[in-house]
Amino acid sequence: MSENSPSPFPVIMDFTGAYRYQRFAAASDFSWIDCRGINGTDCYCDKEGEAALRKLIAAFSPYGLHFLDSGNYHYMTKLWTDRLREPFSLVLFDHHTDMQPPVFEGLISCGGWVKDMLDGNSFLKNVLIAGVPETDAAKVRSERVHVISEEDFAVSGCPAWPLSSVLPSGVPVYLSVDKDVLSTDSAITNWDQGSMRLEVLTGAISRLMRDCKVIGMDVCGEPDAAAGFHARNSNLNSLVNGRLSELWKFNNSTADCSNPLQSRPDKACEGRRR
């Protein structure tokens, strides 16, 4: 396997113990990273915590599927993608833009990591954020960021939104999903949530994977550890995590032999556009 081929072994980053109550995580092909003993990582990540986390993930490929625990640790997307060494687009499903300016200078945070990536990652070409409220979408002032609001999704009723239509052709995609984009009928997180239905999320992701080369993916949005992991919440989230894991595995286990680009992990998948 080349170093920039997607890893067949999904990674679970265990900060709170949430995944220990979810059935999907019992699969034998998951690699677990125990992050529970690392201080300075909850919402804001200090320099010591960041160094410890970078050391822990160094043995695992950024070209794979990563489960990041709750949205408090969504900044891990930045740490994983910092290791990519090719141009890429970030597609983010989230109820928040995660583009807030820092409250504490020099610390990465769950609310500002996208801004940090835009400011500091020369390989990041553009960002597509899907699922934020229209009021927040209107505040985004970057030419490199395209926003599709949750209202846009609701009005369209489109079960497989063609996200690739607003992405640059020939640039691979890193996909990040915060389950707070979903309604509370589909998942339970520790942040305020959107209104997207699970079938809309999975339909859009399936279409994206068909149209573009998705080189990596992560998922966050687990419940509040302080409130306890109730069976209903864990079961709901396990269902979503399992569906997303299946999408990733299916996308990376199928190949169109007539398309030479699919067997060339160093090339973007222009040929997969419909």
Using the 8-state DSSP alphabet, how is residue 182 labeled? Answer: B
Q: pLDDT tens across 37-50, in order?
A: 999 999 999 999 99
Q: Is 39 inside a domain boundary?
A: yes
Nearest-CA neighbor of 183 among 205, 202, 198, 166? 198
Given a cut of 50, whether residue 261 has pLDDT beyond it is no
Q: Is 112 inside a domain boundary?
A: yes
pLDDT classification of 219: cutoffs 50, 70, 90: very high
Q: Is 57 inside a domain boundary?
A: yes
Q: pLDDT tens across 119-145, in order?
A: 999 999 999 999 999 999 999 989 999
pLDDT classification of 154: cutoffs 50, 70, 90: confident
pLDDT classification of 194: cutoffs 50, 70, 90: very high
Residue 18 backbone phi and psi in degrees, to 5: -60, -40
Distances (CA, A) of 158 to 130, 155, 203: 13, 8, 9
Domain that holds residue 222: 11-263
Q: Is 4 inside a domain boundary?
A: no
pLDDT at 161: 73
Q: Is 274 inside a domain boundary?
A: no
Averaged pLDDT, 2-16: 81
Q: Is 23 inside a domain boundary?
A: yes
Q: What is the CATH number of the domain that holds 210?
A: 3.40.800.10
Residue 91 backbone phi and psi in degrees, to 5: -110, 120
Given a cut of 80, whether residue 159 has pLDDT beyond it is no
Percentage, residues of the chain above pLDDT 70: 88
Is the whole-model pTM more than 0.85?
yes
Q: Is 2 inside a domain boundary?
A: no
What's the domain count of the chain? 1
Nearest-CA neighbor of 166 among 114, 199, 198, 207? 207
DSSP string for residues in 226-259: GG---HHHHHHHHHHHHHHHHHHHHHHH---TT-
